[in-house]
Amino acid sequence: MKIPLTQKSLCGCCVIRERCLPAGLNDEEVLLLDQQMEHRLPIKKGALLYSQGQVFDSLYAISTGSFKTRILHEDGRSQITGFQLSGEMLGLDAISEERHVCDAIALEDSTVCKIAYDSLTNLESEINPLQRSFNKTLSKEIVRDQSIMLLLGSMRAEERVAAFLVNLSERYHARQQSASELVLRMTREDIGNYLGLKLETVSRILSRFAQENLINVQGRLITITDVKQLQLVTLSS
């Protein structure tokens, strides 16, 4: 929790600054924000950042690594609601009930930056653009969720898997990672759960895509060889 002064782990010089909470703020404003945050807390692979039911007091931004969020239904069913990459925020859904309504689990050794929600709302009053940009962050999450509703509600299995790969590719690309060589951090079961499919179905479809020379599958390393065709698959209703 303590940050060595020598580390200078400030938002201002963070590589993901413009994709994260400080996006659009000037240096002065970023400094104000920065001082309210705990930076680069390490979370081990498989560890829970928070869990369902836990009292909410802080939001998190992923600095490095990736997470999955999962809601559990009373009857034991679970649904993975998203895979989050660097720069994305965790805990937004907890604001409404002041308790976390999902589990956030690290898919690999990761680091997160933490800010108390009270601090954030205070800053929102002081820094006008922050208020608007935080509204945008929340709204963006709504749009994301609704596009998954479209996927789950009206796409066939092949289309879902293709859409998943294309989406991941775009997000990797935005993070200066290869858009064609995807190193998946989640299991086939995770993917299936997220897409409303069984893991066998996901596996079969990946094999089929490989056979059609759209992708190359070596376990969790997926190489996209024909993006255009893959994008077409997502549209082939």
Binding region for DNA (CB under 7 A): 156-158, 184, 187-189, 192, 196-204, 206-207, 217, 219-220
Q: Is 41 exposed, middle or buried (0-12, 13-18, 19+ CB in 10 A)?
A: middle
Interface with a second copy (CB under 8 A), residue total 50
Residues 65-104 touching a second copy, rule: CB under 8 A, are 71, 73-79, 81, 92-97, 101-102
SS3 28: helix
The correct pick among 57, 141, 189, 226 for binding a second copy (CB under 8 A) is 141
For the bound state, the minimum distance from the C-beta of residue 80 to a second copy, rounded and expressed in Å, comes to: 8
Structure tokens at 202: 């996901």
Residue 146 in contact with a second copy, rule: CB under 8 A? yes
Q: Which does 156 bind (CB under 5 to 8 A by kind): DNA, a second copy, none?
A: DNA
**CA–CA distance, 177 with 171 (Å, rounded to integer):** 9
The letter for the amino acid at 232 is: L
What single string gives the DSSP state of each residue in 93-162? GGTTTTB--SEEEESSSEEEEEEEHHHHHHHHHH-HHHHHHHHHHHHHHHHHHHHHHHHHHH--HHHHHH
From residue 138, alpha-carbon distances to 131, 135, 160 in Å are: 11, 5, 24
Q: Which is nearer to DNA, 99 or 220 (CB)?
A: 220
For the bound state, the minimum distance from the C-beta of residue 155 to a second copy, rounded and expressed in Å, comes to: 8
For the bound state, the minimum distance from the C-beta of residue 70 to a second copy, rounded and expressed in Å, comes to: 10
**CA–CA distance, 188 with 80 (Å, rounded to integer):** 12
- Only one of the segments 26-34, 135-143, 180-188, 216-224 lies at the binding site for a second copy (rule: CB under 8 A); that segment is 135-143
Q: Which is nearer to DNA, 121 or 223 (CB)?
A: 223
Residue 228 in contact with a second copy, rule: CB under 8 A? no
For helices 27-35 and 117-126, the axis angle rounded to 10 degrees is: 150
Q: What is the contact surface with a second copy in residues (CB under 8 A)? A: 71, 73-79, 81, 92-97, 101-102, 121, 124-125, 128, 131-132, 134-143, 145-150, 152-155, 193-196, 235-237
